[in-house]
A and B are shown apart, each in its own frame.
Chain A
Amino acid sequence: GQSLEQPSEVTAVEGAIVQINCTYQTSGFYGLSWYQQHDGGAPTFLSYNALDGLEETGRFSSFLSRSDSYGYLLLQELQMKDSASYFCAVNQAGTALIFGKGTTLSVSS
């Protein structure tokens, strides 16, 4: 079967750094994506890793280890507006995303 595991909830304070882990078990793995979703809104693309290593996009970074079937999203200098759900998703070649159940991040002041 196919499965992705990520923590259901994470809390942090403004200015902190938080890491959201994702482990996956899928067939036909092509890459790992991260999406952000604010309450009731559409998922929006954050980052994508096809190769091992770290990808940095501003305050957000994403890491992938294909040998460990593991990735994480690192959010730095947290802001209140970062409170949202974060989904890891496996890209399977030529087809749809398989999403994890999402991690709800709550940022407090």
Chain B
Amino acid sequence: DSGVTQTPKHLITATGQRVTLRCSPRSGDLSVYWYQQSLDQGLQFLIQYYNGEERAKGNILERFSAQQFPDLHSELNLSSLELGDSALYFCASSARLAGGGPKEETQYFGPGTRLLVL
């Protein structure tokens, strides 16, 4: 158990709909990352938040957005869903940004949310 929690575990929805995925980082971790894993694309970085502020963006579609709240939990919002958005969505957390040793930068992954768009 990494200490990172994600809800829901599974989500089935229809094209055009909007869903919200939730992540609670490990206690004390300030940095949250969202990744998408699909069969043909591997693990793709979507977006990173650090202590409530957006820190970095990866291959995140404009239909997707995220935020990190004062209690450090994060939500990933996916809208106008398409069949191709079906994937595993992982949240990861780390204690801090680079500048410390590798322990502080190790990313711990949650169990993921499996999204199926029909």
Q: Which residues of A contact B (CB under 8 A)?
A: 30-31, 33, 35, 40-45, 48, 50, 87, 89, 91, 93-102
Contacts and interface: CB of A to CB of B under 8 A. Distances in A.
Contacts of B98: 30, 91, 93-95
Contacts of A31: 102, 105
A45 B106 contact: yes
A42 B105 contact: no
Nearest to A30: B98
B58 to A, nearest CB: 6
Contacts of A94: 55-56, 97-99
Contacts of B97: 93-95
Interface stretch (B12-20, B41-49, B66-74, B78-86): B41-49
A42 B106 contact: no
A90 to B, nearest CB: 11
Chain B interface, DSSP helix/strand/loop, else mixed? strand
11 contacts: A33-B106, A42-B2, A43-B43, A43-B90, A89-B43, A91-B98, A94-B99, A95-B55, A95-B56, A95-B97, A97-B107
B112 interface: yes
Nearest to B109: A42
Nearest to B40: A101
Given A42-B112, A43-B109, 18 more contacts: A30-B98, A31-B105, A33-B106, A35-B109, A42-B109, A42-B110, A44-B2, A48-B106, A94-B56, A94-B98, A95-B97, A96-B33, A97-B33, A97-B107, A99-B43, A99-B44, A99-B45, A102-B42
Contacts of B45: 96-99
Nearest to B47: A96
Interface string B51-66: 0000110100000000
